[in-house]
């Protein structure tokens, strides 16, 4: 089967944009794949053999709708939504724009600053999807006014869980519309074997999906544990050393602690101006970056919110000096800033960056061409996005990116002041 090009929207960009609007609403398309019919001449390509019991004769069936699990299903689904927006967009132009840009798989993740506009978009979206025979349901919103014009069976009473495209499973990241906060729940599947192997460890770590890096101080610890395993050169199904098993089990057992962490969805922006407060740091183990927003709310008060973070472990093959790792951290931060500014296009964004390495700050202030190529290339890339004049010094103990370079246990993260 042809897989088709990737039409799926980036979940990170969707959530970043979603957080800048006062009113948020979500919904999903009921049994989306079941409403997408396959062309008659291609139904024969989805034949199955079936019988209800071993004594029955085998019967041949052809699946008539897009079938979840087939290689082409994601592309067919997203392409159908785009075609629906094209065919009927002249009737509902704004709703068609949301259909193209605010859907993740079958979930609508949208927003608006005007309540009346949001109400109209809601009705138009329902009508637009009805043109394709689809039902938009399970509406949630932080504004009760958006739910008043719906029937009871169209409203969801539970929190909204974000999905992962390839598996359609929830990511452990949810949104409570009543309180307008993000909630978290990482339920790792129990190890089917008593012995923890490299294969089992990788499987469990891969379940720690954190699209915006809010728990990067914990996930980097998991990355560092697996890096230690890799240096042992163990076989995939060989038991891990006891000290590594104990460290991972301690981390895993404390994941429940993260349930008490709450992050506000709305960053408080009522103006078109957003300040990005960006921090980078590095240790011999890893380097990290974190970005906060500073906005002015409706009461004229400044609001600072955690926006996004990212970490990487230090490479093993190439041993880098600490200043070079710090420079790599600054470059990682620059790439993250670039992603955020692209996601928040339409806003007036000012970026201020902090680093606790005076060597890196000196490199950024100097003339790039006089440095060796490794430093020169990175200095040029960094200053193209964040000018040298916008880089400032901060002490390590005050740098919020500092603890993400070593990793924390979940309980330590919860108890860290300002985390």
- Whole-angstrom distance, CA of residue 17 vs CA of residue 12: 9
In whole angstroms, give the CA distance from residue 308 to residue 336.
8
Strands (E), 129-272: 136-141, 160-163, 170-176, 181-184, 263-264
381: left (phi over 0), alpha (psi -120 to 50) or beta: alpha
CA–CA separation, 149 and 348 (whole Å) = 35
Which strand (E) or helix (H) includes residue 378?
A: helix 373-385
- pLDDT 10s digit of each residue in the chain, 419 long? 788 888 888 899 999 999 999 999 999 999 999 999 999 998 988 899 999 999 999 999 999 999 988 888 989 999 999 999 999 999 999 999 999 999 988 999 999 999 999 999 999 999 999 999 999 999 999 999 999 988 888 888 777 888 765 544 556 788 999 999 998 887 776 555 678 999 999 988 988 888 899 999 999 999 999 999 999 999 999 999 999 999 999 999 899 888 888 999 999 988 899 999 999 999 999 999 999 999 998 888 999 999 999 999 999 888 899 999 999 999 999 999 999 999 998 899 999 999 999 999 999 999 999 999 999 999 999 999 999 999 999 999 999 999 999 999 999 988 775 55
Label residue 304 left, alpha or beta by phi (over 0 means left) and psi (-120 to 50 means alpha): beta
What does the CA dihedral 280, 283, 285, 290 come to, rounded to 10 degrees?
A: -20
Distance between CA atoms of residues 23 and 12, nearest Å? 19
Does residue 332 contact residue 287 with C-beta atoms inside 8 Å? yes
Asked if 162 and 174 count as a contact pair (C-beta separation under 8 A), the reply is yes
Q: Which two tokens stand for residue 273?
A: 């101006």
From 202, 181, 180, 183, select the one nearest 191 (Cα to Cα): 202
At 164 the pLDDT is 65
Identical topology for domains 11-36+68-164 and 268-409:
no
Instruction: Say how far apart CA 288 and CA 279 lie, in whole Å.
Output: 8
The domain segmentation of the chain, as residue ranges, is: 11-36+68-164, 268-409
Q: Which residue has the tokens 């969805």?
A: 265
Closest CA to 277 of 392, 385, 364, 387: 392
Phi-psi region of 266 (alpha: psi -120 to 50; beta: other; left: phi over 0): beta
Side by side, the strands of the sheet bearing 273-282 are 302-313, 286-296, 273-282, 348-355, 391-393
- In angstroms, the CA 142 to CA 178 distance is 5
What are the strands, taking DSSP E only, across 142-184? 160-163, 170-176, 181-184
Give the H or E element holding residue 59: strand 59-62
Question: Is 265 within 8 Å of 142 (Cβ atoms)?
Answer: yes
* Fold type of domain 11-36+68-164: Alpha-Beta Plaits (3.30.70)
What does the block give as tokens for 111?
């927003």
pLDDT of residue 190: 58
Strand, coil or helix: what is 281?
A: strand
Query: Distance (Å, rounded) from C-alpha 136 to C-alpha 419?
Result: 38
Distance of CA 54 to the CA centre of its chain: 46
List alpha helices for 310-354, DSSP H. 322-343
**How far apart are the C-alpha atoms of 413 and 415, rounded to whole Å?**
5
Q: What does the pLDDT read at residue 32?
A: 92
User: Which is nearest to 255 in space by CA: 313, 172, 191?
Assistant: 172
How far is CA 8 from each of CA 12, 75, 78, 209, rounded to the nearest angstrom? 12, 8, 7, 18
> Does 268-409 carry CATH code 3.30.1380.10?
no
Residues with Cβ within 8 Å of residue 60, at least 6 apart in sequence: 47, 48, 49
DSSP symbol at 132: T
What does the pLDDT read at residue 179?
93
- Give the whole-angstrom CA distance, residue 209 versus residue 404: 16
Paired strand residues for 91:
none
Q: How many CB atoms lie within 10 A of CB 397?
A: 7
pLDDT at residue 191, rounded to an integer: 58
CA distances from 162 to 25, 40, 104, 135, 184 (A): 13, 34, 9, 19, 11
Q: What is the pLDDT of residue 214?
A: 93
């Amino acid at each position: 089967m042809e897989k088709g090009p990737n039409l799926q929207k980036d979940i990170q960009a969707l959530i970043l944009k979603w957080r800048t609007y006062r009113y948020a609403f979500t919904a999903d398309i009921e049994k989306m794949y079941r409403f997408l019919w396959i062309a008659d001449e291609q139904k024969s390509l989805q034949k199955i053999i079936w019988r209800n019991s071993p004594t029955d004769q085998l019967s041949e069936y052809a699946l008539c709708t897009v079938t979840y699990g087939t290689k082409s299903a994601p592309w067919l689904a997203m392409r159908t939504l785009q075609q629906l927006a094209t065919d009927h967009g002249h009737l509902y132009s704004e709703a068609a724009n949301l259909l193209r840009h605010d859907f993740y798989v079958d979930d609508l993740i949208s927003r608006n600053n005007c309540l009346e506009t949001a109400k109209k978009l809601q009705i138009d979206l329902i009508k637009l999807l009805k043109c394709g025979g689809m039902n938009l349901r399970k509406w949630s919103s932080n504004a009760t006014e958006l739910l008043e014009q719906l029937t009871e069976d169209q409203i969801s009473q539970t929190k909204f869980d974000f999905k992962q495209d390839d598996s359609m499973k929830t990511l452990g990241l949810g949104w409570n519309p009543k309180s307008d906060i993000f909630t978290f729940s990482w339920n790792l599947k129990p190890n089917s074997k008593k012995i923890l192997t490299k294969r089992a460890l990788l499987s469990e770590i891969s379940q720690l999906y954190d699209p915006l890096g809010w728990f990067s101080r914990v996930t980097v610890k998991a990355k560092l544990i697996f890096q230690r395993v890799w240096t042992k050169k163990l076989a995939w199904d060989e038991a891990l050393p006891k000290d590594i098993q104990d460290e991972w089990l301690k981390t895993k057992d404390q994941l429940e602690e993260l349930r008490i962490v709450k992050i506000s969805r709305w960053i408080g922006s009522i103006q078109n101006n957003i300040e990005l407060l960006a921090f980078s740091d590095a240790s011999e183990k890893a380097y990290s970056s974190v970005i906060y927003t500073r906005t002015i709310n409706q009461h004229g008060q400044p609001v600072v919110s955690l926006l996004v973070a990212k970490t990487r472990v230090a490479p093993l093959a190439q041993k880098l000096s600490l200043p070079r790792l710090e420079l790599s951290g600054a470059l990682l931060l620059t790439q993250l800033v670039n992603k955020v500014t692209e996601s928040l296009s339409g806003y007036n964004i000012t970026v201020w960056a902090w680093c606790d390495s005076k060597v890196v700050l000196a490199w950024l202030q100097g003339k790039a061409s006089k440095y060796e190529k490794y430093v020169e290339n990175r200095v040029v890339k960094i200053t193209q996005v964040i000018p040298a004049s916008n880089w400032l010094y901060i002490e390590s103990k005050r740098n919020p990116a500092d603890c993400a370079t070593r990793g924390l246990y979940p309980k330590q993260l919860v108890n860290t002041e300002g985390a």
